[in-house]
Amino acid sequence: MKIKKGGYLITPKDIMMLTGVSTLRTAQRHHLSVRDAYGIKGKCLSIRRYCEFNDLDYEFVIEFLNEHR
């Protein structure tokens, strides 16, 4: 497993880079929908949960975020 630069949480800005959405608001809504699906009350969302929800390869996402953070 690679070391995660910038921590183990994913932010709406990370989602913008990863998905290519053009507005921060869209990324925030997607972040919220994933948190709601898992019943997360706070504003923290782990990269692993995000990957599970969207059926993404965790290692690929970590590598991508490390390059772009």
Residue 16 belongs to some domain of the structure: yes
Residue 18 belongs to some domain of the structure: yes
Residue 2 belongs to some domain of the structure: no
pLDDT of the residue at 10: 96
Residue 62 belongs to some domain of the structure: yes
Which residues are CB-contacts of 1 (< 8 A; sequence separation ≥ 6)? Answer: 59, 62
Nearest-angstrom CA–CA distance, 31 and 68: 18
Residue 4 belongs to some domain of the structure: no
pTM: 0.89
What's the domain count of the chain? Answer: 1
Residue 5 belongs to some domain of the structure: no
Residue 1 belongs to some domain of the structure: no
* Domain limits for position 64: 12-68
Residue 52 belongs to some domain of the structure: yes
Per-residue pLDDT of the chain (69 residues; tens, 9 = 90+): 666 777 899 999 999 999 999 999 999 999 999 999 999 999 999 999 999 999 999 999 999 999 988
